[in-house]
Structure 1
């Protein structure tokens, strides 16, 4: 690899457009693989990046075809957790033998699942801390944060250096599993509540009873994580309480999916905690209620 990378973003929604756009803005050769509506807008007008520090149209290649992965040094893998294996199968014929596939997804088991369909050594997990949304075709809006934590691999250090130079604070950590679970716990506390209420985090935590519900969710998650042998960084209750200050106006990705009539990732968030809790004999009633209500809201109206 050289200092300038050829990058493909598989599943370029809000997260992929944000990180891919920053890399393109820094001079890397980036192709966003996205839905046709986004591709058309990006090809015509560029990717509009509305962030906390700039609002620009970034020129970047875009395609709806997984074959656009061909020749990439780095693939930012940003598809929904529900489509991990399918998307991995789609890109496999076009993946170069030395490409690094970096999983920028919600949930804790996507890299493990992706390694069942791609060469395991080419896959590295990453933890994403960013609040973004697609505000329209080819228009990504950044609400806060933007850090990555990457699993070690032969190429992780070089990729982390390139990301940092592009304005993405990036750390390579041997305990990515712990970081993934820490993010999962935060998502379990915030995402379903935001989805059910269709309100941003700041409004939700100010509502009577919601902080206590979130604390119950975290307690259950911590019990399951302990049973799974996960080493969590720091005080998760405090981490959950602090998050709202950094992104009070953010609505969760689960809320955004429900608002657009799209399937959510709730089976890979609170649903995963429910399943793993059941496997260990640990009750998870708060997570179960949130999971079940989101599943109910996913059902089409008669």
Structure 2
């Protein structure tokens, strides 16, 4: 099986690198800047709980010609780039290839299917964050299992990923799983607005209370839409609300037992600002706001956080707010 990772940035390089290290036939496709970096340094993959992996010779291409030989195309671009990526794939994809969307957000598979309607397209969910550290180094800061939409091809992919040290499973309710991940990912924006490592940021109760309020709004609009969040390999957003609202002296011991977060882990949205990329906030808080408007349900916290994130990106810097300071702006 030949695998192509299309739009290989932090997540794509981390997953593709593990597959390469396990001897899989994988080619990464992405930007010229990263191609040159990886050509010079190779890939170095790390996480807190396991040994560092280094891959010297990495097939990282910017020319899409060889995409035609891929049996599976794993799409890892940002949600705002999905339509453009699908259009590029159209020109090179093999008639028998399968596409898997390994992206944040809940609308990517529909976008891909609208452009490539005759192909099998599977959704998936990545539970962890990966941050690029420069010189081909990518660090995974949190844990969890990959979740893939059930299908004949994805059952094979689960085995391939697991053999490469990337625990994975399938689900028949990928939409519910993706919405659960979206609700958890609402904190990405708060991490960007704080300019702190994740562990320090969620250590402030005020940030956690805002996060819980955004989840509350999300659950209300999801109920109106007839969608139920499904279990994922990470925090259950319904139960998470109660935990993150607790005082620090109760929250911290419980969180220490339940989760593993690297002390220096940050959100992908923070990384997007650092490297001058556009944010995915329209596909996180924006999805909550959109459903709210559809059903006539106010979502003021998500709306305001979305505005503040867009302002930070327009100004090209984080406001570096404390939780209490952010609360005063909502």
- 5+ residue gaps, structure 2, are 245-254, 317-330
Distance 2:157 2:96 in 1: 13
Distance 1:213 1:248 in 2: 22
Distance 2:262 2:294 in 1: 35
Distance 2:205 2:154 in 1: 44
SS of the residue aligned with 2:114?
A: coil
Root-mean-square deviation (CA), in Å?
1.9
- 5+ residue gaps, structure 1, are none
1:96 aligns to what? Answer: 94
Q: 2:206 aligns with which of 209, 212, 215?
A: 209
1:122 aligns to what? Answer: 120
2:45 aligns to what? Answer: 49
1:22 aligns to what? Answer: 18
Report deviation, 1:64.
1.4
Distance 2:226 2:238 in 1: 19
Contact 1:45/1:57, CA 8 A, preserved across alignment: no
Distance 1:33 1:137 in 2: 17
Contact 1:37/1:137, CA 8 A, preserved across alignment: no
TM-score (norm 2): 0.85
SS of the residue aligned with 1:141?
A: strand
1:246 aligns to what? Answer: 260
SS of the residue aligned with 1:254?
A: helix
**Correspondences of 1:139-154 after superposition (within 5 Å):** 139-154=137-152
Distance 1:29 1:69 in 2: 13
Contact 1:48/1:138, CA 8 A, preserved across alignment: yes
Q: 1:162 aligns with which of 152, 160, 163?
A: 160
Alignment of 1:192 onto 2:189: yes
2:32 aligns to what? Answer: 36
Report deviation, 1:90.
0.5
2:249 aligns to what? Answer: none
Report deviation, 1:180.
0.1
2:322 aligns to what? Answer: none
**Correspondences of 1:267-278 after superposition (within 5 Å):** 267-278=282-293
Report deviation, 1:239.
3.8
1:232 aligns to what? Answer: 229
Report deviation, 1:128.
0.6
TM-score (norm 1): 0.92
Change (3 A) 1:248 1:143: closer
Bigger drift between 205-214 and 105-114 goes to 205-214
SS of the residue aligned with 2:282?
A: helix
Q: 1:12 aligns with which of 5, 8, 13?
A: 8
Contact 2:191/2:201, CA 8 A, preserved across alignment: yes
Contact 2:142/2:262, CA 8 A, preserved across alignment: no
Distance 1:248 1:141 in 2: 9
- Deviation track 1:142-190 (CA, whole Å, cap 9, x = no partner) reads 22225211112331111111111111111111110000000000011x1
Distance 2:80 2:44 in 1: 27
Distance 1:51 1:202 in 2: 15
Alignment of 1:294 onto 2:309: yes
2:251 aligns to what? Answer: none
Report deviation, 1:248.
5.1
Contact 2:41/2:135, CA 8 A, preserved across alignment: no
Report deviation, 1:109.
0.6
Distance 1:14 1:65 in 2: 19
Contact 2:79/2:283, CA 8 A, preserved across alignment: yes
